[in-house]
Amino acid sequence: MRMIFVNLPVGDLGASEAFFASLGFAKNPEFSDDGTSCVVIEENVLALLHSPEKWKGFLRSEPAAPGTTEVMLALSASNREECDDLRAKALANGGSEYAPAMDFGWMYGVSFRDPDGHVWELSWMDVEAAKQAGAVGA
């Protein structure tokens, strides 16, 4: 079984832990220490939140400039309501707007920035309807 570990720099480890806990994601102490907090998004998908000092120890180049978007993290959702619910929790707990919702009927998505500016996208797709629309292969 493969696992995905998304490594993210954060300005305030405690605040970031609280933000992701407010979204319903648990902390995994096995992969956490004083400079890193491991957040379980799904069983095989974990976000490693690193303090600035810890993050610099991983880099072989300069970190991305604040305010830039280096990566967009996309999570699937089981329905539109789950997309809206997670986005609402994010915005109510320190996240900010990123882009307007997209709605193609067969696909729906929303997004937000976490308190450190990382972009998260949440999307739901009706695969059968997408096939009928010619949006994905049959």
pTM: 0.87
Tell me which residue of 126, 43, 137 sits closest to 80, measured CA to CA: 126
Q: Residue holding tokens 């990123």?
A: 98
Instruction: Point out the residues of the chain with pLDDT beneath 70.
Output: 138
Q: Does domain 1-59 have CATH number 3.40.605.10?
A: no
The ranges of the chain annotated as CATH 3.10.180.10 are 1-59, 71-138
In tens, the pLDDT along 52-92 reads 999 989 888 877 777 777 789 999 999 999 999 999 999 99
Residue with tokens 């990382």: 118
Assigned CATH topology for domain 71-138:
2,3-Dihydroxybiphenyl 1,2-Dioxygenase; domain 1 (3.10.180)
d(CA 124, CA 80): 6
pLDDT at 104: 94
pLDDT of residue 119: 95
How far is the C-alpha of 137 from the C-alpha of 52, rounded, in Å?
A: 43
The pLDDT, as a whole number, for residue 136 is: 77
